[in-house]
Structure formats: C-alpha cells, structure tokens
Structure 1
Amino acid sequence: MLINAPDLVKRIENGETFALIDVREREAWQTASLPGALNLNVYDYFVSDSGPKGYAAMAGAFVHAWHQLGIARGATPVFFEQTVGMRSPRGLWFLWFALGSEGLLLDGGVDAWVAAGGELTPGKGPAAIVSDAGAPERQPAIPQLAATRAEAIDADPAIALLLDARRPTEYDGSFVHECCARAGRIPGSRLFFWEDVVENGRFKSAAELANLAAEAGFTPSKRVITWCHRGARAATVLVALKLAGYQDVAVYVGSWHEWAGHPELPMASGHC
C-alpha cells in the first residue's frame, strides 16, 4: 500500500516497471516531478449524487481518465504529491474502487524522493482529469468502498460508525465552507481529524494509527464510513485505517456538501 522513497529509487534502478502518477496541480508537475511521471487530477471531481447511479458515473469518470494516460500493462501505479495530503490517498482509493487494482502510495511524496537522492525533471506527456465529460457509466469494481447517502442515513452504530475527518471547527459548526447550505455534522459522527494521521509529510506508523483510531472511538470490528467536505480528506483517513488493520472501510463521497444540501436530513452541531 505504501512505498518509501529509498525503496522506490532502488526498485526502479533494478528494472521494475512503475507508473508514476503525479496528482498535484498540472503546473507543479510541469515544473518539476519524478522522471517520467504522468499527471492525473483526482482532486476536483465531485460526485453528483452518492447513490448507485452517481457512483457508476464516478467509476466511469476515473476509468476514462485512467485510459487516457496509456499506462503500460504490468506497470505498478504509484500515486504521489508533494507530501502525503488529501490527493495521493484519493488517487489510490479511486484505483481500488473503480478498477479493483492494486497500487502504491509514495510515503512522503516528492519531498521524500528528493531527500532519497531522486532527481526531478519537468513533467511532460500524458495528463488527464477525472471528469464526467465523455465518460460512460461503469459499475465500480469494489462498490463497498463508497458508502451511499442512504447508508449514511441508516447507519446503525452497532455495526457501522461515521467518521468526520474534517477540522474541529467544521465538526462543531463554527466554520462552514461557502458552498455548503448548512453548518454542522452528520448526527452520530465521531471526529478523527485527518491531519492527525500524518507527521512530517508521511503516514504515522500502523501502531500509532491504530491507537489514534481507538482513542477516537473506532474499532476494526465495525464498518467505518469516513466523510469530510467533498470526499478527499476522508480518503486519507480511510488509507490510514487500512494501514491500522481495518478491513471494512468506505468513503461517503458526497460528504457534508451533499448532506447539507438536503434540508430534510438531520444535523448536529456544538461539542459532544
């Protein structure tokens, strides 16, 4: 799931084939990236509706963009950004969800690559954006990695827990993004701030992540549905949970932006 920079450098030198996927802004990729890296925008996509049809459109959008990159058969995808943030985990999550394929995430990103002695060159060649434009719907390979809005509404805490990956001020409703119709959180959600899973631009250890999740009230024996503002930060926490040994995890991709736009849905605010 993760690969550190020294290992990636060594394995490339030994002749292994990787598809290096830079998920930063295109301008950053064009300025300086890992040699031969492709560029894929996985960040700006937002699902129109967190239901089966919306998720089929999302899976189709990713696969359509993926095919535009022309990745060689047998190449292992490696997603990276400047350091571990909310883009590279989302890229890996997309790959699992839409194609059911294995991939890696460069722990520490570009900064770790440079620190390991890796060179940088201007990015050029194939680039793509995950977008509905021209993309046919496609059934996701692993649909359980995306929780529907209905599942979030009906979540039974005896078997499934809701995880709010946003900052504390979003959780308590004292801050709201301008694009959201309401401030607050999905009732029953527990706060697990996404930045707490990384340190110095890398994921914390599996043991540290497991302890943090337990302290926040989560357990591997239950399904965990992560959510945030529009589904990106939630993917970072999902990867962290998988590193900690959690198996049944999902992102509610519509997250608060979608939930807040449905006035019939309940909300909570303030401190628990």
Structure 2
Amino acid sequence: MTDHPLVSTQWLADHLSSPDLVVINAWMPPVTHPDAPPVYPNAHVPGAIFFDVNEICDTSSELPHMLPAPHVFSSAMRKLGIGDGQTLVVYDDFGFYSAPRVWWTLRSMGAERVYVLDGGFPKWRAEGRPFVDDDTRRVQSHFSARLNNGAVADLGDIKTAIATGNRQILDARSAERFSGEAPEPRAGLRKGHMPTALNLPFTQLIRENGTFLSRDELKEVFEKAGVDLSRPVTTTCGSGVTAAILTLALTILGARDLALYDGSWAEWGSRDDTDIVAAGT
C-alpha cells in the first residue's frame, strides 16, 4: 500500500481474500432523498460490513451525524469487527458521497491504513465484479480510538479563522447554495456562506464515470478555486459529509494541516450569532 488514499476496483478484487482486509459499505441517505434505502441488503461487495453514518455518531447532539466520543466509537467498531492494524477499504452506493466521511472518521479516530474505493459500488458493479446479499458478520475485534483533535474544527475554530485569517475555509456545497441563491435542503437554515470562505463544489473533483480526478487535475481545480495548498485548510459543507471529499482530495495533493468543520452549515446557518455573506448583501 501507498500513502495515496484511493484504491482501484482491480486492487480490491485482487486483495479481497486478504485476512487483514476489512471492506466497509458506508451509508447515509442524501439529504435531498432522506428515505432512500441502502443498496447493502440486496447487493454489496463480498465480505463488506455495513457502516451507518447516522447511527455511528453522537446521538445526543441536535446536529446531524456528529463525531461520537472515542469510547463510543471504539465500542461500535468492536461490534462491527473492525480492529487495530487492519487495512480498511470504504466504499458507498453513490461512488463518492459518504465513503470519504467514514474514511475521515476512521483516520481521525486513529486508524492508519484506511482507503476509499475509487468509483465506489457503481463502478464495481458496472465492471461485472461479484456481489452478495448476505448480512456479513465479523468476529468482534479491539479498536483503540485515539481522537486527533486537530482534524476536527468546531464553531469557535471557524470564528477564529474568520477573525485572524489563520486558516482557509473551503466550502464543498454547490455555488448556488454558497451564494445564497438556492435554498438549503434542511429546514430552518439561513442561506449564504461564512465570511472569507472559498467555494469548491465537491462535484468538480469527480469525473463523469464516477472516479476521482488525477493529482494534476485536482491541483488545477484547487488553484482555480483560489486555494493555497501550502496553507492550512478547514473544509466545510452542509453537515460535514461532502466536506470530507475535499479533505480526501487535499490529502491526495499532499496538504498537511487539514481540519473538517463537523457542524458545518447545519450548525453555522442555524444560529443567530454567526455572520453570513449572501447574494445581495
């Protein structure tokens, strides 16, 4: 394995029987289709386990799918059969949606060998690769969660970044939501973006066939968005999911000082003590 966080469908097919490999089907329904069912019960990569982002989270928070406490996460991973030292490959039903969030979560909790399947299940299935409909159960394993606090930004960190300019804020939402010209899919949120924030819709990082852009292509896209890859970056989005796609791309590009705003717009846009920039203001 290399430091590159993506693996190909061919690599996964070649290593599917490796004893230290755990395949994870990340699941979260799109906010625009909250009742969408997961593909997992009917079709998944052989041996894959099911990771529900809306279940393995801080269930006491009013904000959606916030990171759980490390001991809670350790318990959830143990029950799934995810343990220390394993090689973890995460994919999702859409290609690139919730898999990078689970990749970021595992890395933030101390897992070192975590990768995302390039193209996800759509590519795997389109290539005629095997899939099953059983409910995979793994033997419980010991997972030692060690939260990297620097990987997670909170409301205060964003306010500091805006006030001091010590970090770039990069928003993964669409240009229309960023400008405030399109409504937010979650009720009760103001429209617009954080002061000083840059916009790079996550869809610009993915090819039409569902795979990620190359390093050179990613570099060009980030530079066009005004991002200085030598400076710290905090990613954000609607609720901390697609922000992880930007974090994944920045990791591919070798950026080091990265954080993700876990509350994202679900928190910032719901408060009356946060500044917002919107079209016409």
Structure 1 length normalisation: TM-score? 0.85
Deviation at 1:8, TM superposition (A): 1.4
2:172 corresponds to? 165
- Out of 222, 237, 252, the residue aligned to residue 231 of structure 2 is 222
Secondary structure class of the residue paired with 2:193 = coil
Gaps of 5+ in 2: 29-36, 139-143
Which one is further off, 73-82 or 192-201?
A: 73-82
Give 1:198's aligned amino acid.
I
In the other structure, the counterpart of 2:25 is 22
What is residue 146 of structure 1 aligned with on the other side?
Answer: 152
Q: 1:154 to 1:82 in 2, by over 3 A?
A: same
Q: Aligned partners of 2:47 and 2:41: how far apart in 1? A: 11
**CA distance in structure 1 between the partners assigned to 2:150 and 2:179 by the alignment:** 28
SS at structure 2 position matched to 1:241: helix
Match for residue 67 of structure 1? 78
Contact 2:169 2:196 in 1 (8 A): yes
Paired residue secondary structure (1:236): helix
Structure 1 distance, partners of 2:110, 2:77, is 10
Tell me which moved more, 58-67 or 85-94. 58-67
- Give how far 1:115 is off: 4.2
Residue 234 (structure 1) shift: 0.3
SS in 2 for 1:170: helix
Contact 1:43–1:90 (Cα < 8 Å) also in 2: no
258, 261, 272: which one aligns with 1:263: 272
The one-letter amino acid of 1:82's match is D
8 A Cα contact 2:119 2:210, kept in partner:
yes
Flag the 1:183–1:201 CA change in 2: closer, same or farther, 3 A: same
Distance (whole Å) between structure 1 residues aligned to residue 132 and residue 54 of structure 2: 23
Show the 5 A alignment for 1:89-104: 89-104=100-115
CA contact (8 A) 2:172 2:236 kept: yes
The Cα shift of 1:245 comes to: 1.9
Equivalent of residue 105 in structure 1, options 95, 116, 137? 116
Judged with a 3 Å threshold, the aligned counterparts in structure 2 of structure 1 residues 140 and 152 are, in CA distance, closer, same or farther, namely farther
Question: Cα deviation per residue 1:146-179 (whole Å; 9 max; x = unaligned)?
Answer: 1121110010565310111101121111222343
Report the 3-state secondary structure (helix = DSSP H, G, I; strand = E; otherwise coil) of the residue aligned with 2:204: helix
Q: CA deviation at 1:43?
A: 4.8
Give the structure 1 partner of residue 215 of structure 2.
206
Give 2:261's aligned residue: 252
- 2:184 aligned residue (168, 171, 176): 176
Does 2:14 correspond to 1:10? yes
Alpha-carbon deviation of 1:102? Answer: 2.2
1:96 partner SS: helix
- Preserved CA contact (<8 Å) 2:198 2:225: yes
Q: Distance in 2 between matches of 1:166 and 1:27?
A: 23
Q: 2: CA distance between counterparts of 1:158 and 1:74?
A: 38
Seen in structure 2, the aligned counterparts of structure 1 residues 18 and 190 have a Cα distance that, compared at 3 Å, is same
RMSD value over aligned CA atoms? 2.6
CA distance in 2, matches of 1:270, 1:261: 18
CA contact (8 A) 1:161 1:218 kept: yes
Of 33, 48, 60, the match for 2:44: 33
In terms of fraction of residues, the more helix-rich structure is 1
Q: What is the CA–CA distance in structure 1 between the aligned matches of 2:214 and 2:280, rounded to whole Å? A: 29
Match of 1:238 in 2: 247
Query: What per-residue deviation string (whole Å, max 9, x for no partner) do you get for residues 168-210 of structure 1?
Result: 1211112223433311111111110011111121111111111
1:131 matched residue in structure 2? none
Superposition pairs of residues 36-51 of structure 1, within 5 angstroms = 36-43=47-54, 45=57, 48=61
Tell me how far apart the structure 1 counterparts of residues 238 and 41 of structure 2 sit (CA, whole Å): 28
How far did residue 113 of structure 1 move? 2.1
Q: Give the number of equivalent residue pairs.
A: 257
